[in-house]
Amino acid sequence: MEVLIYDTMSRNKVPVPNNNHKVGIYVCGLTVYDRAHLGHARVFVVFDVFRRILAKNGYDVRYVQNFTDVDDRIISRAKELGVSAKQVADQYIAAYFDDMKKLNVIEADVYPRATEHINDILALIKKIEEKGYAYTTSKGVYFRVPKFKQYGKLSHQSVDNLKSGARVEPDPEKEYPLDFSLWKFYKGDPVEPRWDSEWGPGRPGWHIECSAMSMKYLGVIDVHGGGADLIFPHHENEIAQSEAATDQVFARSWMHVGLLSIEGEKMSKSLKNFITIDESVKRWGSNAVRLFLLSAPYRSALSYSEAALERSADNWLQIEATYAEALYPRTGDSAVSDEYLIKNKELEQRLLAYLADDLNTPAALNAIFQYFSYLSKVSAEGDGLNERQAELVINNAKMIEEMLGFTFPRKEFGYEELIFERFELRRQKKYAEADAIRNKLRQDGLLLIDHKDHTIWFKSSVPDAGQRITRAGSGTSS
């Protein structure tokens, strides 16, 4: 199936650019001076699903995501902590990988770091200078924005409009307010990283590193992505300096993820109004967080609230409880209705269609909710699922995991004797003894769902799942 995305440059929905189904994707990663927050997570989870749907449709994806590991904010944090800038970067890069593992985000093929590509950066600056697009002041080397006549083509703004709304780098020697740094001269601070260059010792500007690294690993990029806040100036500047140096298109398409807001403002580290990925996973669980982040069209803004994440946690728990029925099916019965077969078969078709159409995750999630609601009804009517019904559900869960990155409970072994003992105590109306076993099992994180002639059990990814599922009245004794 052909996958379509909305291209920021053309303002149209377009087929994903590819070369014989090979797709090179570059996503701007973190500036590593603090823990990643939910706003970052939204970008990385969206592109994770994008990669998954491309792979599902037969595309061979090469995915590159950088780390900005030299920056004013990293230097400031190093001074606060009394360590080197490299130690700060290493600490938060490790934290990033820990966070992404919790969210089940597939690792990139390459994670280039700016500090490991200084020679590539310097070579690119030299090309820009040779083309007449760079000049030097006492503070560093700058790019001549007015010389690049297409400046503003990504953000669809004139240079004058961009100039009026831009936060510009202060330097009275600059030729033009929007001119931006390619190389920043060393200021004498012992904590500040520096490298030798023909212009003088210093470090790269923010924008140049992404151009150098993306072109090294991908050449012309098929899909360049990141948060919508990067359209200007970062991506606009990447285009200018890259195309000035090479005289060719830098990226064939641009894909931007809407901002996550909190109380009407962008969630950001600089505003100190963020919740970290680590904290959110501890409070609501990885699947619930992922569900929340995919709940709105990726290009739209998404508003953070604890209530929204609470709903996501409750919704995912209901999906888990319904899915758990398939882990312990009724034996000796394999009857499956035509309606059941159709419902199971059409789920994959619906997900493929929705996700290939500009990553329509809200429609995909709605299809999943409808499917599990139907399963819940079938299970209630049949006092559980039979073996054939369960087999189809497990296959669909694997498909959902593959395409959307959620994880479902696994069958837990070693509890059968206690579960059976508790079931017999309940049958004999010895509820106090049965509750004592339930409480013992709950310490291991097990939730129990009682049926007429059997009990099923599972471990939820949602914290405090026992209280949640009892509140929801799903029939579990938790």
DSSP letters spanning 332-359 = S-----HHHHHHHHHHHHHHHHHHHBT-
pLDDT number for residue 332: 80
Amino acid at 56: K
pLDDT number for residue 475: 44
Separation in Å, CA 179 to CA 122, 172, 197, 217: 18, 11, 20, 27
d(CA 309, CA 319): 15
Mean pLDDT of 417-423: 94
Mean pLDDT of 349-365: 98
Tell me the pTM. Answer: 0.94
**Is 61 found in the same domain as 190?**
yes
Residue 147, domain member (yes or no):
yes
Is the dihedral angle over the CA atoms 195, 196, 202, 208 positive or is it negative? negative
Give the DSSP per-residue string, 77-88.
Answer: HHHHHTS-HHHH
pLDDT number for residue 399: 98
Q: Cβ neighbours of residue 205 under 8 Å, at least 6 residues apart?
A: 140, 180, 181, 182, 183, 184
Nearest Cα to Cα of residue 275 among 32, 37, 57, 22: 37
**Is 245 found in the same domain as 142?**
yes
Residue 293, domain member (yes or no):
no
Nearest Cα to Cα of residue 213 among 40, 18, 60, 26: 26
d(CA 446, CA 406): 20
User: What do you get for the CA distance between the two ends of the chain, in Å?
Assistant: 43
d(CA 177, CA 189): 26
Better-predicted residue by pLDDT, 124 or 261: 124
pLDDT number for residue 476: 47
Residues in the chain: 478
**Is 12 found in the same domain as 82?**
yes
Question: What percent of the chain clears pLDDT 90, i.e. is strictly above it?
Answer: 86
pLDDT number for residue 9: 98
Task: Indicate whether 273 pLDDT > 90.
Answer: no
Residue 225, domain member (yes or no):
yes
Domain end (from 257, 292, 322):
257
Residue 111, domain member (yes or no):
yes
Residue 330, domain member (yes or no):
yes
Domain end (from 404, 438, 457):
404
pLDDT tens column, 211-234: 999 999 999 999 999 999 999 999
pLDDT tens column, 120-179: 999 999 999 999 999 999 999 999 999 999 999 999 998 877 876 566 677 889 999 999
Mean pLDDT of 7-11: 98
pLDDT number for residue 164: 60
**Is 225 found in the same domain as 335?**
no
Number of domains present in the structure of the chain: 3
The backbone torsions φ and ψ at residue 40, rounded to the nearest 5 degrees and listed phi first, read -65, -45
Any idea what DSSP says for residue 177?
A: T
Q: Which two tokens stand for residue 24?
A: 């090179």
Separation in Å, CA 65 to CA 411, 428, 462: 35, 60, 29
Pairing of strands 260-262, 302-303: parallel
**Is 373 found in the same domain as 422?**
no
Mean pLDDT of 349-378: 98
**Is 232 found in the same domain as 165?**
yes
Better-predicted residue by pLDDT, 266 or 321: 321
Give the DSSP per-residue string, 420-466.
Answer: HHHHHHHHTT-HHHHHHHHHHHHHTTEEEEE-SS-EEEEE-SSTTHH
pLDDT tens column, 370-408: 999 999 999 999 989 999 999 999 999 999 999 999 999
**Is 376 found in the same domain as 398?**
yes
pLDDT tens column, 76-114: 999 999 999 999 999 999 999 999 999 999 999 999 999
Domain end (from 240, 257, 274):
257
Nearest Cα to Cα of residue 236 among 107, 148, 106, 339: 148
**Is 437 found in the same domain as 354?**
no
Residue 59, domain member (yes or no):
yes
Residue 356, domain member (yes or no):
yes
Residue 294, domain member (yes or no):
no
Task: Indicate whether 208 pLDDT > 80.
Answer: yes
Rounded to a whole number of angstroms, the CA Rg of the chain reads 26
Task: Indicate whether 368 pLDDT > 60.
Answer: yes
**Is 421 found in the same domain as 396?**
no
Task: Indicate whether 467 pLDDT > 80.
Answer: no
Angle, to 10 degrees, between the axis of helix 361-382 and the axis of helix 387-404?
160
Q: Which two tokens stand for residue 85?
A: 């800038």
**Is 130 found in the same domain as 184?**
yes
Structural domain containing residue 142: 4-257
pLDDT number for residue 269: 63
Mean pLDDT of 315-324: 96
pLDDT number for residue 262: 85
Task: Output the CA angle 111-115-117, nearest 5 degrees.
Answer: 70
Q: What is the CATH number of the domain that holds 212?
A: 3.40.50.620
Three-state secondary-structure class, residue 277: helix
Q: Cβ neighbours of residue 254 under 8 Å, at least 6 residues apart?
A: 7, 8, 9, 154, 223, 224, 225, 231, 235
**Is 213 found in the same domain as 132?**
yes
**Is 144 found in the same domain as 12?**
yes
Task: Indicate whether 277 pLDDT > 70.
Answer: yes
